[in-house]
Amino acid sequence: MSLIDTIDKQEAHLVFKAFDELAALDLGQRLVTLALSQKAPVVIDIRTPDRTLFHAALPGASPDNDHWARRKSNVALRFHKASLRVGETNRLRDRGVTPDLGLDPLDYADHGGSFPIRVAGTGVVAAVTVSGLKSQEDHDMIIAVLEDMLGKA
């Protein structure tokens, strides 16, 4: 199975029945717990298109991780796809985040670590983002927590 197929499957299965501020807090706290247990120097961010629902900067994370989180979440919110999937698609097409696609690289990053929050019957309402590890590791941390939280492990 290709990386894109794997991510498509994750996006189809990791769907919430409802998602609100309390769900964002629960998800964020679960990510913090996992990241701390791994001593991962990450920023964790959960946002809708117009507001931040959860944000944490853990020991070792840098201010740059905040900017990466914002840029990766912009990709997930714009395309309703995981940023890792968008990046893989772009790599296979030998393209990237560029102004000729209407995307400013200062505002968008197609690296792994942001995943769209989908609500059944509604669609994408937010994005959860981890920044500070390698792209695949950022993505995998989110997936592990979502699978556990949604009982899909």
Tokens of 145: 């927590």
Nearest CA to 145 among 115, 110, 120, 124?
A: 115
Give residue-wise pLDDT tens across range 101-152. Answer: 788 889 999 999 999 999 999 999 999 999 999 999 999 999 999 999 999 7
What's the pLDDT score for residue 100? 78
Query: What SS3 class is residue 54?
Result: strand
Mean pLDDT of the region 12-32 = 98
Q: The whole model's pTM is what?
A: 0.95
Q: Any bridge partners for residue 52, and if so which?
A: 47
Residue 62's DSSP bridge partners are: none
Calculate what percentage of the chain has a pLDDT beyond 90: 90
Query: What are the sequence ranges of the domains in the chain?
Result: 3-149
Per the DSSP assignment, residues forming a β-bridge with 60 are none
The top-level CATH class assigned to 3-149 is alpha beta
Which token pair is 53?
């629902």
